Amino acid sequence: MKARVHVMLKNGVLDPQGEAVKHALGALGFQGVEGVRQGKVIELELADGTTEATVRDMCERLLANTVIESYTVELG
């Protein structure tokens, strides 16, 4: 089975990379880009039967720094 973890900076934590991407899109002539947030996707190959709770534990302990980042887990 697979799990996909999305890690994003929490709302309210400045994302300088997202801001830079927003400016670059504006410079390319794209109108109306009002905000960009950049995160990361981590794909996990897991033994069948691994629970969502286990994946969330992985997120809490390593994959995300919950001081500044939030995460979501997609299974399957």
Partner 1 sequence: MHAAVLVFPGSNCDRDLAVAFEKAGAKVSMVWHKDTGLPDGVDVVGVPGGFSYGDYLRCGAIAANSPICGALKEHVSRGGYALGICNGFQVLTETRLLPGALRRNAGLKYICRPVDLLVGTADSAFTAGYEAGQQITVPIAHHDGNYYADAETLQQLQAEDRIAFRYAENPNGSVGDIAGILSANRRVLGMMPHPERMAEPAHGGTDGAAMFRALLDQMVTA
Helix (H, G, I), strand (E, B) or coil at 59: helix
Contact between residue 62 and residue 71 where contact means Cβ atoms under 8 Å apart: no
Contact between residue 38 and residue 21 where contact means Cβ atoms under 8 Å apart: yes
Check binding of 16 to partner 1 (CB under 8 A). Answer: yes
Q: How many residues bind partner 1 (CB under 8 A)?
A: 12
Binding residue (CB under 8 A) for partner 1 from 2, 68, 72, 74: 68
Check binding of 24 to partner 1 (CB under 8 A). Answer: no
Q: How far is the CB of 67 from partner 1 (least distance, A)?
A: 4
**Environment class of 50 (CB within 10 Å of its CB; exposed 0-12, middle 13-18, buried 19+):** middle
14 or 31: CB nearest partner 1: 14
Residues at the interface with partner 1 (CB under 8 A):
9, 13-14, 16-17, 20, 61-63, 65, 67-68
